[in-house]
Amino acid sequence: MHPYLSHLECPICHRHYRLEEVTYTCPTCGEAGTLDIVYDYERLRQDITPEQISAQTAPESLNLWRYRPLLPVLDDAFIPPLHIGWTPLLRAPRLAAALEVKEIWLKDEGRNPTASLKDRASAMVAARAAEIGAEVITTASSGNAAAALAGVCASVGIRCVIFVPHTAPQAKITQLLVYGATVFLVKGTYDDAFDLSVQAAKEYGWYCRNTGMNPFTTEGKKTAAFEIAEQLGWTAPDVILVSVGDGNIIAGQYKGFYDLYQMGWIDRMPRLIGVQAEGSSSMVRAWAEERDPVSMTVEPATTVADSISVGLPRDRVKAMRAVRATNGSYLSVPDTAILAAIPELARAAGVFAEPAASTVLAGLHRALETGLVGHQERVALLITGHGLKDIKSAIASVEAEGKIAHPVEPSMDGVRQLAKELGLA
Ligand SMILES: *Cc1c(COP(=O)(O)O)cnc(C)c1O
Ligand SMILES: [Zn+2]
């Protein structure tokens, strides 16, 4: 028994379930009813203080398991050994000066073992899989969730079967193979891969990690919010920009700050702004038209930011709640702005992001222009994945501005000539 875990709750019909009772989504509401895992905040508040959490300074506690009482894991024996979480929250003064913003913080999630925020969710799902004795875990993924699952599974010796669209960047597919996953390269979209993985999980009795569908994913991702608050001395930034595909990351940030707010460890919720690519922006449209996310259907999705190329956001109900309940907003940015933000972020802060991560910087520009974010605010950007994940897009981003490497003859004469041409001498 978990001392603080209370129940599962559907965000649509608000029915409660016991943890053992339901594995995936709400039996009444179906696939849109992605469940919340709810804790006994009253008891947590009595038993645990933020000072106790922050007093954990030993190297083995500098990871996401430092929030163990607030995580849905029953036994330490099931915790995977990889170092996941406790990524740096970097101050970005040069970027802040360039954008004339008071403070910008970068949560550098590329620093996780498989180089994206998805490691947090996969760690939680793998721990749950071990608890229930699952022998095979499956997932659909645009790439990063799969790489994270493959890495974590390798660390604990659980088999994993991945459904990934054939268009996923080569680095991500290579990660899967290197970690030893079995890869079904789907000749279709992420949404096709999602449906296939659900059917295969059912047919073969595999445990399914799918984003949103598996309630443990949000619980893993919420630890990024815990860390941001702790790294800011148990305060919340004014606003956080989060890129949105399935909406599970933004739902996770909401859940993390919600947990902390319920316990009184932070005194207000940050505004959450969801940023999508124009070519994959169904949440932005649903938000603008005030549509009920439950009734959304698959729409065409194309963007250079493969990690957020999603036709039907699986965690749309919680993703809409995250923005609505925090007085936030949704906005979209074009692929050209997403690509331009890669070198911009790298040069202003030394952080190399994949397109789905640089998306939030493009979104910040937009939000400052439209007044959605004020220049006096404390802003955090969730940099969800590393730039080396998608070299093709990185190359496109520098080619677009005409930046090249300069060929030079192997002699000092050659160097001198080039230095002169470049105005260095
Ligand atoms: C998965 C992912 C996202 C989007 O997360 P969702 O939960 O699908 O909204 C953003 N950036 C990166 C790098 C990702 O891997
Ligand atoms: Zn329900």
**Residues 322-346: tens digit of each pLDDT:** 999 999 999 999 999 999 999 999 9
The residue with tokens 């990871």 is 63
What does each C-alpha distance from 147 to 63, 78, 275, 373 come to in angstroms? Answer: 19, 20, 23, 34
Q: Which of 172, 219, 332, 384 for mutating ligand 1's site (highest number of atoms within 8 Å of CB)?
A: 384
pLDDT for res 1: 85
Ligand nearest to the CA of 241: 1
Question: Given this model, what pLDDT does residue 372 score?
Answer: 98
Task: Determine whether the shortest distance from the Cβ of 33 to ligand 1 is under 6 A.
Answer: no
For residue 50, what pLDDT is reported? 98
Q: Angle, nearest 10°, between helix axes 248-263 and 118-131?
A: 80
Whole-number Å distance, alpha carbon 406 to ligand 1 midpoint, is 35
User: To the nearest whole number, what is the mean pLDDT of the chain?
Assistant: 97
Q: How many CA atoms lie within 13 A of 310 on its CB side?
A: 29
Quick one: the chain helix, strand, coil %, rounded to 5? Answer: 45, 15, 40
**Three-state DSSP class for 315?**
coil
**Nearest residue CA, atom 1 of ligand 1?**
307
* CB of 301 shorter than 6 A to ligand 1: no
Residues 6 or more apart whose Cβ sits within 8 Å of residue 414: 408
Instruction: Give the span between the Cα atoms of 319 and 245, in whole angstroms.
Output: 10
Report how far ligand 1's centroid is from the alpha carbon of 139 (Å): 14
**How many residues are there in the chain?**
425
Ligand at shortest distance from the CA of 310: 1
Question: What is the 247 CA–ligand 1 centroid distance (Å)?
Answer: 8
Instruction: State in Å: Cα 246 to ligand 2 middle.
Output: 19
Q: Is 308 in the pocket of ligand 1 (CB under 6 A)?
A: yes
C-alpha torsion sign, points 116, 121, 124, 127? negative
The three-point CA angle 48-52-53 to 5° equals 95
225: left (phi over 0), alpha (psi -120 to 50) or beta: alpha
Q: How far does the centroid of ligand 1 lie from the alpha carbon of residue 408, in Å?
A: 40
Do 51 and 73 touch, CB atoms closer than 8 A?
no
Residue pLDDT, tens place only, 181-221: 999 999 999 999 999 999 999 999 999 999 999 999 999 99
CA of 213 to the centre of ligand 2 (A): 13
Which three-class secondary structure state does DSSP give residue 208? strand
273 closest CA partner among 119, 379, 344, 369: 379
Coil, strand, or helix at residue 134? Answer: coil
Distance 421 CA to ligand 1 centre (A): 43
Kindly give the number of the ligand 1 atom that is closest to the alpha carbon of 221: 7
Which atom number of ligand 1 is nearest to the Cα of residue 118? 15
Reduced to 3 states (helix: H, G, I; strand: E, B; else coil), residue 209 is coil
Per-residue pLDDT tens, the chain, 425 aa: give them.
899 999 999 999 999 999 999 999 999 999 999 999 999 999 999 999 999 999 999 999 999 999 999 999 998 889 999 999 999 999 999 999 999 999 999 999 999 999 999 999 999 999 999 999 999 999 999 899 999 999 999 999 999 999 999 999 999 999 999 999 999 999 999 999 999 999 999 999 999 999 999 999 999 999 999 999 999 999 999 999 999 999 999 999 999 999 999 999 999 999 999 999 999 999 999 999 999 999 999 999 999 999 999 999 999 999 999 999 999 999 999 999 999 999 999 999 999 999 999 999 999 999 999 999 999 999 999 999 999 999 999 999 999 999 999 999 999 999 999 999 999 98
Tokens for 314, please give them: 């699986």
Distance CA 310, CA 220 (A): 21
Angstrom CA distances, 287 to 96, 290, 319, 323, 387, stand at: 28, 5, 10, 9, 29
Q: Which ligand is nearest to the CA of 316?
A: 1
What is each CA distance from 14 to 10, 11, 74, in whole angstroms? 5, 5, 24
Ligand nearest to the CA of 108: 1
